[in-house]
Amino acid sequence: MNVCQTCGACCASFRVDFHPAELAGGAFAWGAGVPREMTVPVTPAIVRMAGTDATEPRCVGLAGEIGKIVNCTIYDGRPSPCREFDTEHSACNRARQRCGLAPL
């Protein structure tokens, strides 16, 4: 099992902004793209995953319990910031620490 499937800390730590072209039906969407109803508009050129700018952030696409078992409900269509983030990012361990998890 991939460590990300038991973590989810990044999904509960960072704001996720991306271009509207990654939305479902957009020119640069992967898979089905990000469902529009899971986002909030920021500017004409930026949308944000709902929940990621809350005081206690948690992406609306995250299912499960952080640190136990989690999954992304839109994994195949997830936006570019999520695709680019991995356990090699120093931000991964910052997110894990924020959520009370041991570093990798």
Q: What is the pLDDT of residue 69?
A: 95
Q: How far is CA 40 from the centre of its chain?
A: 14
Delimit the domains of the chain by residue range. Answer: 3-98
- pLDDT, one tens digit per residue, over 20-74 is 999 999 989 999 999 999 999 999 999 999 999 999 999 999 999 999 999 999 9
Q: Degrees (nearest 5) of the Cα angle 42, 44, 19?
A: 80
Q: Distance between CA 37 and CA 54 in Å, rounded? A: 17
Q: What is the pLDDT of residue 84?
A: 93
For the cut 80, the answer to whether the pLDDT of residue 95 exceeds it is yes
Q: Side chain identity at 87, as an amino acid letter?
A: T
Q: Distance between CA 56 and CA 78 in Å, rounded? A: 21
Q: What is the pLDDT of residue 2?
A: 82
